[in-house]
Amino acid sequence: MAEAGSGSLTVVGLGPGEAHWLTPAAQAAIDAATDLIGYGPYLDRIPERDGQTKHASDNRVEIDRAGHALRLAAEGRNVAVVSGGDPGVFAMAAAVFEALEAGDPAWLSLPITVEPGITAMLASAARAGAPLGGDFCAISLSDNLKPWEVVTARLEAVLKADFVICLYNPISKARPWQLRAALELATRHREAQTPVIFARAVGRPDENLRILTLAEALEAAASADMATLVTIGASSTKLIPRPGEAAPWVYTPRSVTKSPSATSQGRT
């Protein structure tokens, strides 16, 4: 049994599914932990071993999970909180620091480490080609934690300024219409032919990558789910057709030649 006060907390990114995208540092953090805390499906990816306890939880109680992790670490356990992808991108790291700030001041002395991971937008981009070749942004479409007007104001800003846009948490049973609304907003600023990528479960056996036009994506919005990362191309994003059955490559050239005013006008 570890001595009280000797505990630690590591927030670990597992990457998007395949062990071959798990960094050695993340693997070492998992190996060193006495306790693993996370959403059940993420914990299921980690083989059981003696001396290590798994604490599975529901996906929607991040703050409770973070508090539980901090309490265990304060009791002297070596705790790893696991997230899919990168823990700092719409995952557990922010919840841990929220719980730290609101919690027992003694927790502030705990050694806390965040181990980065391959986030879904990087994995999805790699599979498609190089869609993030220019400036880009990441927006969570979930309005559980922010008003929908904030989401649309942000979308509008980055559509006008011609960023490539990655949408996390695009849709769920409780939020069925937001992705279509976001894509409709996009049609006011981007051509109907703009490439859109629906990347589902990248790195898992059921991986599915769809290269669509914005017009097609609008019709297909209901087929996305919480495991889908949606990338909307910039005005310069283009396709390179390939011979045979292969999907085209998608890439965004590094150079921008058009003036900002050419992209800051709505198309209504």
Site for its own copies in 207-246 (CB under 8 A): 240-243
Provide the minimum distance between the beta carbon of 207 and its own copies in the complex, in angstroms, as a whole number.
14
Provide the minimum distance between the beta carbon of 219 and its own copies in the complex, in angstroms, as a whole number.
26
In the bound state with its own copies, the residue whose beta carbon lies nearer, of 222 and 262, is 262
User: Which of 17, 131, 195, 233 contacts its own copies by CB under 8 A?
Assistant: 131
User: Which of 7, 38, 84, 129 contacts its own copies by CB under 8 A?
Assistant: 129
The site string for its own copies over 248-267 (x = CB under 8 A, - otherwise) reads -x-xxxxxxx-xx---x---
Contact 96, 74 (CB under 8 A): no
Instruction: Give the Å distances, CA to CA, from 8 to 33, 78, 102, 159, 225.
Output: 9, 5, 18, 42, 35
Q: Please, which of residues 143-202 interact with its own copies by CB under 8 A?
A: 145-147, 149-150, 153-154, 156-158, 160-163
Tokens read off for 238? 């283009």
User: Which of 9, 30, 132, 186 contacts its own copies by CB under 8 A?
Assistant: 132
Tokens read off for 254? 């590094």
Residue range at the interface with its own copies (CB under 8 A); choices 39-47, 49-57, 69-77, 142-150? 142-150
Provide the minimum distance between the beta carbon of 250 and its own copies in the complex, in angstroms, as a whole number.
9
Both ends of the chain: CA-CA distance in Å?
Answer: 66
Provide the minimum distance between the beta carbon of 104 and its own copies in the complex, in angstroms, as a whole number.
13
Q: What's the rounded Cα separation, in Å, for the pair 119 and 53? A: 26
Residue range at the interface with its own copies (CB under 8 A); choices 33-41, 141-149, 173-181, 217-225? 141-149
Q: What's the rounded Cα separation, in Å, for the pair 81 and 132? A: 29
Strands (E) across the chain are located at 8-13, 35-39, 53-57, 78-83, 112-115, 129-130, 136-140, 164-168, 195-200, 208-213, 228-232, 238-240, 249-251
Q: Please, which of residues 1-20 interact with its own copies by CB under 8 A?
A: 15, 18-20
In the bound state with its own copies, the residue whose beta carbon lies nearer, of 50 and 245, is 245
Q: What's the rounded Cα separation, in Å, for the pair 200 and 88? A: 20
CA 65 to chain centre: 19
The site string for its own copies over 61-100 (x = CB under 8 A, - otherwise) reads -x-----------------------xxxxx--xxxxxx-x
